[in-house]
Chains A and B, each alone.
Chain A
C-alpha cells in the first residue's frame, strides 16, 4: 500500500498561494462595477420619472384659497422646537405664481383631492399649466362650454389645427420670407460693392435694383399671408380656471400638448411617457432651455463627434505610420513621440485657447479675408463654429489615436512583414496591402477611446463655438447643406447650462438628468458602433500567430 511521505498532503499557506491578493483584486473589480452600475441607476432613476405623468392634486387651504400641482416631496422641519410636516408642490403656472414650487404646511391644509377634470397643458411660452377647463372660444366669438358633449372633440381638433397652422407660419416666415431676405441682403451687398467702384456700371446697378423691387413685392405678399395666418390663430382660445379661482384665457396656438393627468389609466400613462421621451429627443428647447427637448444638442454632439473622428483618424494614422515605420529611431523621433504623447496631459481648456487663437482667429480670420471679404466686418469663419470645435477636439484626442495605432502596428508579427518582403514587395506595398489592414482593428480601438473622450468634453468647446441656443442646425436642407461655420448646441454644454445657469435649478434638475442619460447613451451607441466595426475588421484582417 502507498504510504505517503511526511508532508505529502500539506498545502501551501493561503498567503503563499496569493489568496489575499486575489481577494484584493476581486474587491477592486467589484467596487468598480458597483460604482458604474450605481451611477447608471442614479441617472436613470432621476431622469425617467420626469417623463412619467404624475397626478395633479388640488390642495384646499384653511386661509388662503387653494393650490393645484404635483406633490413632489413630503418633509419634516423643526420650527421653534415643534416638528412640522411640509409638502413641496410643483405648481407651474408661472404667470400666476411667479415661482415653480410652493411649500405648504400640513396644518394649513384643509383637504387634498384629485379632480378628474384637472388639465395639464404644456404651453409654448409659459411652461407647465395646471387648471380646470371652462370653455372654448371659436371663430366669431362662438363659445363651447365644458359641459357640451362635443367639448373634448373640439378641443383636440383645435389644438391639431392650430399646430398645423403654426407650421405653415414657420414655413412662410423661415422658408419663403427667410429666403427672400437672404436674396435681398445679397443684392444689397452687391449694390454696396458696386457703389464703391470707381467706374459706375449703371446697367448692372439698374438690373439689381429692379430685381430688388420685384423681391420686395413678393416679400410683401408673403408678409401679408403670415399676418393673416397669425390673425386666424388669435380667434381660438381656451378659457380655464386656476386653483385660486381666477379665470384665464389661453390662445390655442400656445398649446403644445395637453392631457388630463388624473383620468389616465396605466397604459395611457405609459403612452404619455413614451410621447414625452420622444418629445424630449426630437424637439428644440423652449423657455430658456427649461422646456421642450434637446434635439439640436443631440444633433450637434453627433455631428461634432463625427467631424472630429473624420479629422483625427487620418491625421493620427499618418503620424503613427511615419513614426513607427519610416522615422529613423533617434533623438528627433523620440522628441516627436514624447511631444505628441504629452498632448494627452494638457488640460482640455488649454486646447480651447489654442483653438480660439489658431483655428478661429488665425485660420478663420484668414479664410474670411480671402473668401468672405464682402461680409466683413460680420465674421463667417472668423468666429467659433462646429468646424473649429471639431478640429480643436481632434487636436486634443490626437495622442490617443497615435498611441493606439503605433501599438497596433507594433503588434503585426514580423513573420508576416518578412513574408511580404520575400515576395518582392516594397516596404510601402507591404504596409498598404498587409500591415495596415492587419492594424485596422487596433486603430479603431484608438478611435473609440478618442470619441469617448471627445464627445463628453465641454470646456474647450465654450471657447470655440458652442452656444446655449443655436438658431439653426449645422446640417439642414438649405444649400450647401453642411454649414461648418455655424455655431451649434452640445449636450455637455446643455448640461452645464441647465445645472449652473438656469433660473430655477429645482425645476431644471430632472431635465439635467435626462440630458446626462442621453449623453451617456449617445456615447455608448457611438462606441458600440465602432466596436462592432472593429469586430468585423478583426474577422477579416486579423493576423493569427502560429
Chain B
C-alpha cells in the first residue's frame, strides 16, 4: 500500500530555499520539573508551510514559542538541545533576543491587537525598532495591509481604533503586524481557532500567498486546514515528534500507526 503511493507522493512542492532553514536539534523543554518536549529533531524548509499537528498538550505550541524564545518570559522554564535558524543558534549568548523576534513574526490564537489605531498596530514593530520616518512607516503600513488582504477594507479608517474591526479582520491585522518588519519566519499559533469558516478561508488563502516570501510554521487543530495549506506536516504526541513528512504522505500514507489513528479521527 505504502509502496504503491510512494512515487506519486514524491512530487509535492520542492522547497525553493534551504530545506533546513530552521533546524530543531535534540530539543527538550521543561516547565519546572515537567518535561513537555522530548528530544525533538525537526527541519523546516524555507518558503514552505509546515503544519504542527497533534492532540492538546502535545507540546507543539511550546516548540513554536521556543523558536522566537517567547517562552523566556515564563518563569521556571528551561531547555536542552538547540534550535537553529539559518545555521545560527537562537540560544547563542551573542544573539539579541529582541532582534531575533524582529526576524520571527508571530500570530496568536486569540487575535490580540493593541488598543491603538489600525495604523499604529501595523507599524508597532517598526516603532519599537526605533524607526520614525513617516514616509517609511506609511509605506510599510500599506504594504503589510495589502499583503494581509486587509488594505481595501481599512484604508479609509486607518486611524480608527483597531477594536472596531471584525474578529476576522483583527486576525488579519495581526498578520499584517507580524509581517510589517519583514521577518524571515512567521509563527502561527492556531490562527483560525476563533474564526468562522469564511474568515478562515480568507486567512488560508493569505497563508498560501505569504508562502512565496516567508517561511511559515502553522500550529493547528484543524486537520483539514493542515491538509489544505501545508507542504509538510509534523505530528506530535505527548511531547514527542511521532512523524514528520510531506503533508500528502502524513494524510495518505502515514508510517506510524499513531499518526494513522490521529489523522483518521480515531483519537485526538
Contacts and interface: CB of A to CB of B under 8 A. Distances in A.
Interface in B159-181: 161, 163, 167, 170, 174, 177-178, 181
B108 A540 contact: no
A426 interface: yes
Contacts of A418: 70, 73, 108, 112
B33 interface: no
A433 B101 contact: no
A541 B128 contact: no
Interface in A383-438: 413, 415-416, 418-426, 429, 433-434, 437-438
A437 B161 CA distance: 14
A123 to B, nearest CB: 61
B115 A542 contact: yes
Interface of A: 413, 415-416, 418-426, 429, 433-434, 437-438, 540-546
Given A424-B125, A437-B115, A546 B101 contact: no
Contacts of A542: 115
Nearest to A432: B128
7 contacts: A415-B110, A419-B112, A421-B70, A422-B101, A425-B128, A546-B111, A546-B170
Nearest to B128: A425
B112 A413 contact: yes
Contacts of A434: 114-115
Contacts of B124: 420, 423, 425, 433
Interface in B99-137: 99, 101-102, 105-106, 108, 110-115, 124-125, 127-129
B115 A541 contact: yes
Contacts of A433: 114, 124, 127-128
Contact of A415 (B68, B102, B108): B108
Interface string B139-157: 0000000000000000000
Given A544-B163, A546-B194, A420 B114 contact: yes
B98 interface: yes
B98 A425 contact: yes
A424 B181 contact: yes
A424 B98 contact: yes
Of the candidates A416, A420, A421, A424, the one having the most CB atoms from chain B within 10 angstroms of its own CB is A424
B79 to A, nearest CB: 17
Given A437-B115, A541-B115, A546-B167, A424 B101 contact: yes
Nearest to B163: A544
B112 A423 contact: no
A416 B99 contact: no
Given A421-B101, A424-B128, A546-B167, A416 B114 contact: yes
A419 B114 contact: yes
Of the candidates B115, B129, B170, B178, the one having the most CB atoms from chain A within 10 angstroms of its own CB is B115
A157 B160 CA distance: 62
Given A415-B110, A546-B167, A540 B115 contact: yes
Interface of B: 68, 70, 73, 98-99, 101-102, 105-106, 108, 110-115, 124-125, 127-129, 161, 163, 167, 170, 174, 177-178, 181, 194
Contacts of B177: 419, 423
Given A423-B101, A434-B115, A546-B170, 7 more contacts: A416-B112, A418-B70, A420-B128, A425-B124, A541-B115, A543-B115, A546-B112
A419 B115 contact: no
Contacts, number: 75
Contact of A422 (B70, B161, B163, B194): B70
Contact of A426 (B106, B127, B128, B178): B128
B112 A415 contact: yes
Nearest to A328: B75
B128 A423 contact: yes
Given A419-B174, A424-B99, A429 B112 contact: no
A-B pairs with the 3 shortest C-beta distances? A424-B102, A422-B106, A425-B128
A545 B125 CA distance: 22
A418 B174 CA distance: 12
A413 B112 CA distance: 9
A132 B68 CA distance: 93
Contacts of B161: 540
Nearest to B103: A424
B167 A423 contact: no
A423 B181 contact: yes
A543 B99 CA distance: 26
Contacts of B125: 423-425
Contacts of B194: 546
Contacts of A419: 108, 112-114, 174, 177
A415 B114 CA distance: 10
A424 B125 CA distance: 6
Contacts of B181: 423-424
Contact of A438 (B102, B110, B115, B170): B115
A501 to B, nearest CB: 53
A403 to B, nearest CB: 23
Nearest to A417: B73
B31 to A, nearest CB: 15
B255 to A, nearest CB: 34
B123 to A, nearest CB: 10
B114 A421 contact: no
Nearest to B111: A546
A433 B127 CA distance: 10
A543 B170 CA distance: 13
